[in-house]
Amino acid sequence: ETGVTQSPTHLIKTRGQQVTLRCSSQSGHNTVSWYQQALGQGPQFIFQYYREEENGRGNFPPRFSGLQFPNYSSELNVNALELDDSALYLCASSQGGPPNTGELFFGEGSRLTVL
Amino acid sequence: AQSVTQPDIHITVSEGASLELRCNYSYGATPYLFWYVQSPGQGLQLLLKYFSGDTLVQGIKGFEAEFKRSQSSFNLRKPSVHWSDAAEYFCAVGALSNYQLIWGAGTKLIIKP
C-alpha cells in the first residue's frame, strides 16, 4: 500500500511568483485535504477535495486554488506569493468522503520558502 | 469562536516517567477530537480519536486520552514514556461531516535520559 506522497519536498520562490504543489493520495482514498503549517504552529485547513470537487474551504484568499484529478491526486496552486506564504504545506487523504469517521493520512509535506 | 489550546509549548519528561499533554477546545457543535504526532522527517500520524461512547480512548504506542465535556478538555496521557516518543503532539477538533480540522499549536515533547 503506497502512502501519501508530496512533491517537491522543498522549494524556494520569490515574492509575486506562482507555485504548484502536488500530492498523490493513498491507494483507495478519494478525499484530499490541504493544510498550511507555519513554523511553530499547528496546521491550518486550506481546502478539501472529494471526487474532484471542492468540498470545503478554510480562511484562505482565492489566490490559493486547487484541483483533484480522476485518479484522486491533487494540486495546490498559490499565485502572487507573499512572504507569509512561507510554510510547510501538508496534504492528507482519507476514504469515503463525508461523513468522515476514518483516519487522515498525511504526507511529509512540501516546505515552501518565499524570499 | 472555534479554537484549540495546547497550553504547553514544550514539556520535558524523564524516560520512564508518566506524561500528560493538555488540550482544551472551544467548539459550537458536538466535537470530534484527535491527537496526532509529528516526528522529524515524518508525516503527521494519528494517535487516537474520540467520536462518541466511552470517554477514555486508547490509541497506538500506549497512549490514551480522556474526553471531559464539562472541562472542554481532551488530555493525552502515557504511563511511561520512551525516548522514541520525543516529537511534537497536536490536538485537533472537527465535525463529523468533514475533515476541516482545527488544530492546536502543538506541544513539543523532550525526553531526558
Q: In a mutagenesis test of the B interface, which of A4, A6, A104 is the best target, namely the one with the most B β-carbons within 10 Å?
A: A104
Among A55, A67, A46, A42, residue whose Cα is nearest residue A100 = A55
The larger pLDDT score, comparing residue A94 to residue B107, is at B107
Q: Do A99 and B97 touch (CB under 8 A)?
A: yes
Q: Do A56 and B96 touch (CB under 8 A)?
A: no
Q: Do B96 and A44 touch (CB under 8 A)?
A: no
**SS3 breakdown of chain B: % helix, strand, coil, rounded to 5?**
10, 50, 40
Minimal C-alpha gap between A56 and chain B (Å): 7
Calculate mean pLDDT across residues B95-102.
74
Q: For B4-26, how does the pLDDT look when each residue is reduced to its tens digit (9 = 90+)?
A: 999 999 999 999 999 999 999 99
| A:B CB pairs within 8 Å | 65
Calculate mean pLDDT across residues B50-77.
94
d(CA A1, CA A75): 21
Hey, which residues does B19 pair with through a beta bridge? Answer: B78
User: Percentage of chain B surpassing pLDDT 70?
Assistant: 96
- Residue pair B104/B37 in contact (Cβ under 8 Å)? The answer is no
**The pairing of beta strand B10-14 with beta strand B107-112:** parallel
C-alpha cell at A44: 491550518
Mean pLDDT in runs of 10 for chain A (115 residues)? 88 98 92 93 92 90 96 96 97 75 84 97
Any CB–CB contact under 8 A between B98 and chain A? yes
Calculate mean pLDDT across residues B55-66.
96
pLDDT for the residue numbered B27: 87
The larger pLDDT score, comparing residue B52 to residue A5, is at A5
Residues recorded for chain A: 115
pLDDT for the residue numbered B40: 83
pLDDT for the residue numbered A112: 98
- Residue pair A88/A26 in contact (Cβ under 8 Å)? The answer is no
pLDDT for the residue numbered A96: 67
**Taking an 8 Å Cβ-Cβ cutoff, which residues of chain A contact chain B?**
3-4, 31, 33, 35, 40-45, 48, 55-56, 58, 90, 92, 94, 98-101, 103-109
**The pairing of beta strand A105-106 with beta strand B107-112:** unpaired
Q: Output DSSP code: residue A59.
A: S
pLDDT for the residue numbered A47: 93
CA distances from B89 to A65, A76, A109, B44, B106 (A): 29, 25, 17, 9, 5
What average pLDDT is seen over chain B?
92
Instruction: Check pLDDT > 80 for residue B69.
Output: yes
